[in-house]
Structure formats: structure tokens, C-alpha cells
Amino acid sequence: MKILVYGELEDGKTTDLTLQCLAKGIELAGQTEGESACALIGYGVKGVAEELISCGADKIFLVEDERLSGYTTTPYRKAFSEVIREYSPDLILLPASTIGGDLAPAAATELRSACVLDCTEVKLQDGDIELGRVEFDGKVITRFSPAKRPVIVTLKDGISEPAKPLAGRQGEIAPVEVSLTDEDLIARVVRRDVARRTVDLRAAKVIVAGGAGVGSKENFKLVEELAEVLGGEVGATRAAVDAGWTTHDRQIGQTGVTVKPELYIACGISGAVQHRVGIMGAKKIVAINIDPNAPIFRFAHYKIVGDLTEVVPKLIKLAKEMR
């Protein structure tokens, strides 16, 4: 099986989710004694091509053109489709990002290929490609088995551990020529303003998170204080973010980030599947909830049934005493 990964860049660097897609591509290719390649489109990105080879790509299809220095749909669709035609992969993986979500269906339309977005699972079953996606606000997991190849897929954050570089690894860099016309360049990037994340929950070893059950912004300060005394980060469910108790960059789950801390303390979080998909990589989950039947208790390692306004202050006091 031949697998092609789209190499998405941010400020000239490979994104974390691209490296996750590459790791998954390498894993699947290894199951069939196949190969994994990357499509790299942009300008002045040859150094990135060498990085992707060191991370496990067997081949890099490189499209370099000064007019491709900023992403716009039409020229990138044309360049990406040309790489796909030249390589003839069985499976094409892209990050489930703003760009991936735009480019994947555009390329699929041009190539008349199957396309499935926002997958949380991709595997091989008896030689067939099987895909899984969470749908209907997290209440349903739908599985797909495309009838023909290639199939274009975007993968959600957390699909795999990012591929790591290996010194001395060799691979092939294959330049691809794409003819761009004025019609292809009808749009251009005038300016790009990026909101910088001040929190990296994916790297946090300890996370204390609050949900709707926290009840108020005042109570949410208990979550923040516990995180501080434990030397951890503050997380939240979508409900807590929507209520204005904390910022969006702390949202965990289907519409937030996927985390894998050593310790995850869930305060007033019911455990709906939308949030659960973001925390299943946690090594230890401690759940505090007043409802003894809360769904989170089904998969938490340690369960505390009680009012968090009483339980959390005791945990804060204990943590301070143990310092």
C-alpha cells in the first residue's frame, strides 16, 4: 500500500498534526510492506522536506513556487492533485485543520475520489481501509469502508504520537512541476494574523479541568487554584468555556485539544463522549462529581462522589501540606 501525507506548514514549520498523520501513515504502510510519502507545497521549504524524511517519510514530492508562499484553494488543489496523480497512492492523509478541511474535498472533487473528514480512527482490516468518525455531537461513531481507492482522509488531533526524527535517515526528494495560470491565482493572501496559543495542554503532565458542574466562575477559581498548587495546567469542557469561566485555548475534547497527561482531575465533568475522546490518553483520571451515576465514573481510575466546593479545597490543603 502507498500512503501519501499532506505536509501542512505553520510559519514555515511542520505542524504537530502533520507529524501525527505521518506516524499513522508509516504505521499503516508497515503493515503492508508498503511506503509512505509526503506532499510538500510552498516556497523555500526544502529544509522541511529533509526533516520529514528524517521523521520516516520514504519520499517527498516537492512543489516549490514563489506564488505558493501562502495557502489559497485553487493553486494548492491543482498542485496537490498533480502529486496524487503522479504517485497514485491508495490512501491520502491530511490534518483535520482549517487547511486540511478545505483542501481534502477540493482535491477529492477534482480527482473524483472518496473523501472522509475529521476521522478519529483509520486502520486496515483484511486489506480494506476502515475509517471511524464521531458524529451527531459526539453521540455516534460512524464507520466507513470506501469502495474504491484512492481515499482522501483528514485525521483529528490525537490520532497518533507525532513522528520523531532519526539522524542519518535517507529518502528521496522528487520535484514536481505544476503549471499555474492567472485563473488559478485569482486570490492571494494579503495578510495573515495568527492568534498565538499561550497554553500547551498537550505537553502538560498534570491537568485539572472543570465542567458545567462547577457551577460558576467563582467556583472555577478552585479548579485554577488546585492546578496551581499541583504545578499543572487548567483545562475545561466546552460548557465551561461557553459560560465564560475560562478561555477557549483551555478547551479539551472533540472541539478542543486531545491531551495525554500523567494525571487528569475532572471537576464537575459529566463525562460525555465529546469530552471523553479528548482525555482517553490520560494515564490516571480522577473524577469529582456530585452525581454517583455520572458517565465519567465508568472510565475514571479514581472516583470521588461529593460536592467539588467541599472536596477541592481539601485537596488544595493536602497538596500544600505535602509540598
In a domain, 171, yes or no: yes
Tell whether the model's pLDDT for residue 208 goes beyond 90: yes
Residue 262 is placed in which grid cell?
A: 500523567
Tell whether the model's pLDDT for residue 160 goes beyond 90: no
In a domain, 212, yes or no: yes
Same domain assignment for residues 50 and 167? yes
In a domain, 288, yes or no: yes
DSSP state of 161: P
In a domain, 120, yes or no: yes
Mean pLDDT (whole number) for 44-60: 93
Tell whether the model's pLDDT for residue 17 goes beyond 90: yes
In a domain, 127, yes or no: yes
In a domain, 52, yes or no: yes
pLDDT digits (tens, 9 = 90+) for 74-121: 999 999 999 999 999 999 999 999 999 999 999 999 999 999 999 989
Same domain assignment for residues 126 and 16? yes
Same domain assignment for residues 117 and 212? no
pLDDT digits (tens, 9 = 90+) for 243-270: 999 999 999 987 788 899 999 999 999 9
Of residues 135 and 132, more confidence is placed in: 132
Tell whether the model's pLDDT for residue 193 goes beyond 80: no
Contacts 24+ apart (CB under 8 A), 304-312: 308/213, 308/214, 308/219, 308/222, 308/267, 308/268, 309/215, 309/219, 309/222, 312/222, 312/223, 312/225, 312/226, 312/267, 312/288
pLDDT for position 101: 96
Same domain assignment for residues 231 and 152? no
Q: How confident is the model at residue 136 (pLDDT cuts 50, 70, 90)?
A: confident
Residue 179 is placed in which grid cell?
A: 503549471
d(CA 319, CA 100): 43
Q: How confident is the model at residue 196 (pLDDT cuts 50, 70, 90)?
A: low
Same domain assignment for residues 19 and 147? yes
Mean pLDDT (whole number) for 1-5: 96
Query: What domain count does the chain have?
Result: 2
Instruction: List the CATH number of the domain containing 23.
Output: 3.40.50.620
Of 175, 210, 234, the one marking the end of a domain is 175
In a domain, 209, yes or no: yes
Same domain assignment for residues 228 and 310? yes
Same domain assignment for residues 168 and 28? yes
pLDDT for position 137: 63
pLDDT digits (tens, 9 = 90+) for 279-295: 988 999 999 999 999 99
Same domain assignment for residues 171 and 281? no
Tell whether the model's pLDDT for residue 138 goes beyond 70: no
CB 286 within 8 A of CB 264: yes
The three-class DSSP label of residue 222 is helix
- In the chain, the percentage of residues whose pLDDT exceeds 70 is 98
Q: How confident is the model at residue 135 (pLDDT cuts 50, 70, 90)?
A: confident
pLDDT for position 140: 77
Same domain assignment for residues 150 and 282? no
Same domain assignment for residues 148 and 278? no
Same domain assignment for residues 90 and 224? no
In a domain, 147, yes or no: yes
Indicate the average pLDDT of the chain.
92
Same domain assignment for residues 28 and 143? yes
d(CA 301, CA 80): 45
Instruction: List the CATH number of the domain containing 286.
Output: 3.40.50.1220
Give me the domain span that covers residue 287.
201-321
